Amino acid sequence: MAVLAHTATEEDEVKQSTLDDIDALLADTDELLSTRYPGDRDVRQPIHTVYVPGHQADPTVPRQWGEQALAAVEDNGGMVQLAERVIVAARREADETLGLTPPSLHQVAREAELLAEAVTRKLTTEPIEDLRYDFEDGFGDQGDETEDAAVREAARAVVAGMAEDTAPAFVGIRFKCLEAATRARGLRTLDLFVSGVIAAHGSLPEGLVLTLPKVSTADQVTAMVAALRDLEEEHGLDDGALTFEVQVETPQLILGADGTVPVGRVLDAGAGRITSLHYGTYDYSASMGVAAAYQSMEHPVADFAKNQMMVAVAGTGVHLSDGSTNILPVGDPAAIEQAWSLHARLVRRHLRRGIYQGWDMHPHQLPTRFLSTFRFYREGLELATQRLRSYVGQEDSAVLDEPATAKALARYLSRGLSCGAHTPEDIAERTDMSAEVLEQIARTGGIATEKETRA
């Protein structure tokens, strides 16, 4: 078929001239949106970070934590019973909020059996997703000789775990902060660990995580970038190969003396190396003057800080993690049950608020971490897959979804898939989509990508 050539008219030329002017006017905005706000990264976000004192580094830590978690559950009524309690509490909260009809006892029992089976499997196969050996508060000041030896051992333990396929998907260290009193020690620990891992592994391994704590200014992040560049040059790594997390534990990072929000500038200072922001529950609360008994992930000062952090990372691809609770499931059965109930509720709380990661400080917290997280992703499976299928297939639906909503639905399902709450078959049989297609929709929200993939 012949294609008719379009003859530009004077009106077309005027419109093109206007467009060129607008393109020039918005060039900086286009650059900002494409570089500063590129959208979600196509990388897995762990559902938790486990903290272990640096001197306890060992390739068997994940297995030990999983075994201890399962033993604690078995000693306190079993996984099905704990799953039932988590389900009932979650449904009660949802019923009060959404006015849902309570499920029957039979429905709860069946759901609990399936949930317990999935979490037991998780604790057996992947009890820890992200592990941090702590050389800051969890290690303290034990002298340079002791810390040097412990850091070297941690590097060996990390590489040994990778070689034995027992290491979590993400593993690394938290070193001491860059404030004057601990700066030299922190940088030495960073150097020893990175150098030790590269020497033992032969290269920089995937999933290595470095955590910079107690950041108060963007300049400290700039200094961290400089330290990492020196390490990259020393070991022949590409520029940007070493990335890190920032721990938000000081009010100065939430509201600066000039009235601005420095946490936003921190991301720029990170020069593309910051992978996530982590909220530090107790240091931040203490800095705000909150009495020890009331320091919590759900205190209003915590929510204010995390809301600022959420806005700062939105659209940047930088992940956000909630903090921890120091109320541990240990002691007599009543104390354990109370601590499990609290932990499960706090996990549900941050998930419902759009924060998909938190900290676990004890093996006995793993059961409620996984029960609450899996349940969060499983409870919305049917509705999310139905809406996504209708959107992609352009079917009639009671809910009018847009590309942004399609992205959110796909991300929700992808997160459930990556942590083990769902299987690929769960998604495929409900949507006729593979995990890869789901990731594409999560990135683009577009229908064309899905159709092209099927073709």
Q: What is the pLDDT of residues 253-286, one digit of tens each?
A: 999 999 999 999 999 999 999 999 999 999 999 9
Res. 449: pLDDT tops 50: no
Which of left, alpha, beta for 231 (phi over 0: left; psi -120 to 50: alpha)? alpha
Sign of CA dihedral 103, 106, 112, 115: negative
Chain Cα centroid distance, residue 364: 20
| Residues in Cβ contact with 230 at an 8 Å cutoff, skipping those fewer than 6 apart | none
Per-residue pLDDT, 443: 81
CA distance 9 to 383: 51
Per-residue pLDDT, 453: 43
pTM: predicted TM-score of the whole model, two decimal places: 0.91
pLDDT, tens only, 19-49: 999 999 999 999 999 999 998 888 999 999 9
- Per DSSP, the three-state class of 321 is strand
pLDDT, tens only, 381-398: 999 999 998 888 766 555
Tokens of 171: 């593993």
Backbone angles phi and psi of 211, in degrees to 5? -115, 120
Domains of the chain in sequence order: 48-73+112-378 (3.20.20.60), 381-454 (no CATH)
Query: What value does the mean pLDDT of the chain take?
Result: 92
| Locus of tokens 């992040």 | 221
